[in-house]
Amino acid sequence: MVRLDELQAQVAVRYDNLGLPSWPNPHAGTASPREEEYERVTEPDRYGIVHARARVWADTLGDAPKVDVETLAPAPLDDKGHLGRFDRGVRLTSPRPGTLPLLLLERDAPLSGLEAPLAVLQISVVRPEIALEVLPDCGCDACDWGSDDLLRAIDQTIGYVIGGPIVVLRGKGWHARWHPDGGSSGGTPQGPDHAQIMQLCRGLAGGEDVRLPNGTEVFVGRPWLN
């Protein structure tokens, strides 16, 4: 398979050929959003770019040798239905040993008082509920940092999965993810210390035998690429 930077370049060219909307960061150089922006959604249709970018990634990866692309029917994001549903999606898998399946899940989120829904993309691994990123995270004007910010976040998150290594941990009331460029964790205050869990993730990525909190789900993804 080609290198990650080559894939990203292919995605950028294919996407640019679609001629989709782009807009600058409306908050560049400002201290903070205005109060009225938190209850306003301007041009929700333009957020369709997150679905479009994901589809270009799916097409580009699907052109790679032996990468399998499975179309997913609408379904709940988790077994109990607490997280809502997705409306469309694809599951991409690499033939390389130790890699994690990549899920690109589309939602059409209804907006109060508006006819057009908000396009939402969820990037997950292994199962729909194991989310790495949800974009846009809100959709209101106060949380709008421009189209480039959205596209960059999509490319980076997909890059973490296919470029590898990536480690995802899920425990009771907490979660964490790690990749060579950094990591994040969250959940209840009773969850493990961030610095400690990042160290454990680095050990897992390096193939070490580490001791994790009881009941932790562990997903270690190796690079899809040569």
Mean pLDDT of the region 112-129: 92
Q: What was the pLDDT predicted at 225?
A: 85
- Say what the alpha-carbon torsion angle 52, 58, 61, 64 is, to the nearest 10 degrees: -120
Query: Distance (Å, rounded) from C-alpha 53 to C-alpha 64?
Result: 17
- Name residue, tokens 């907006």: 111
Q: How confident is the model at residue 111 (pLDDT cuts 50, 70, 90)?
A: confident
Lowest model confidence (mean pLDDT) among 111-115, 164-168, 196-200: 111-115
Helix (H) or strand (E) holding 159: helix 147-163
171 CB neighbour count, 10 Å cutoff: 21
CA distances from residue 54 to 134, 183, 192, 220 in whole angstroms, order as listed: 12, 22, 33, 23
Query: Distance (Å, rounded) from C-alpha 15 to C-alpha 18?
Result: 5
Of residues 32 and 141, more confidence is placed in 141
Is it the case that residue 84 has pLDDT exceeding 90? yes
- Name residue, tokens 């959940």: 187
Q: What was the pLDDT predicted at 1?
A: 65
Whether residue 78 contacts residue 7, with contact meaning beta carbons closer than 8 Å, is answered with no
pTM of the shown model = 0.95
